[in-house]
Amino acid sequence: MASGNGSNFEALVQACANQQLPAQVVSLVVNNPGCGASQRAERLGIAVTCLDHRTFVSRDSLDGALVEHFHAAAVDLVVMAGWMRIVTRRLIKAFPERLVNIHPSLLPSFRGVDAVGQALAAGVTLGGCTAHLVSEEVDAGLILVQAAVPVLAGDSHDSLARRIQAQEHRILPLAVGLAAERLGLLHRQP
């Protein structure tokens, strides 16, 4: 699931192609027509579906459509790779411990929107990113993997976000692998 540029989505696809992650990305769902993630999916030959949140009467109805889509695609895990929507109990309950999110802070610090801006405003010297299981409380689920990124003197929102995103690309495939291993979904060959 992605809303924007799709670089984390592409990092997952590449990790699968390079056999760093013994899995397959079978579908991408976006909520913004024509977003960068859609273009990446088309270029990579991954099926993409747009479920524009603006056409649904509620978050619950959007999540119902997501559940139907993912069940029809027979997915084992759902990854929120830059999905800029709060999900409901409906999606979380349909994929218990099978819904992974990437967030640009060292949770539990700076939950919610604009974590990079929150970190800069707080004056911290260490930021980072967290991949976690999704729970009903925003950005509060079980932490799978974290990566720390120093906040440098003179960092702008963009410069810090770029360094954090580079770490997101590294840890998201690791977290998806850990989530799959916890559920017995991966059967690695020696």
Architecture of domain 7-182: 3-Layer(aba) Sandwich (3.40)
Q: Which tokens in the block code for residue 57?
A: 């009467």
Q: What is the pTM of this model?
A: 0.94
pLDDT at 186: 74
| Positive/negative CA dihedral, 79, 82, 85, 86 | positive
Q: Which tokens in the block code for residue 107?
A: 């949770």
- Kindly give the pairing relationship between strand 126-133 and strand 28-30: unpaired
* 70: DSSP letter: H
Q: How far apart, in Å, are the Cα atoms of 112 and each of 106, 147, 180, 188?
A: 12, 18, 25, 35
Q: Which tokens in the block code for residue 127?
A: 């930021």
For the chain, the domains span 7-182
pLDDT at 187: 60
Q: Tens place of pLDDT for every residue, the chain, 190 residues?
A: 999 999 999 999 999 999 999 999 999 999 999 999 999 999 999 999 999 999 999 999 999 999 999 999 999 999 999 999 999 999 999 999 999 999 999 999 999 999 999 999 999 999 999 999 999 999 999 999 999 999 999 999 999 999 999 999 999 999 999 999 999 987 644 4
Catalytic positions: 103
Q: Are 177 and 19 in contact (CB under 8 A)?
A: no
Q: Could you identify the residue written with the tokens 């060959």? A: 189
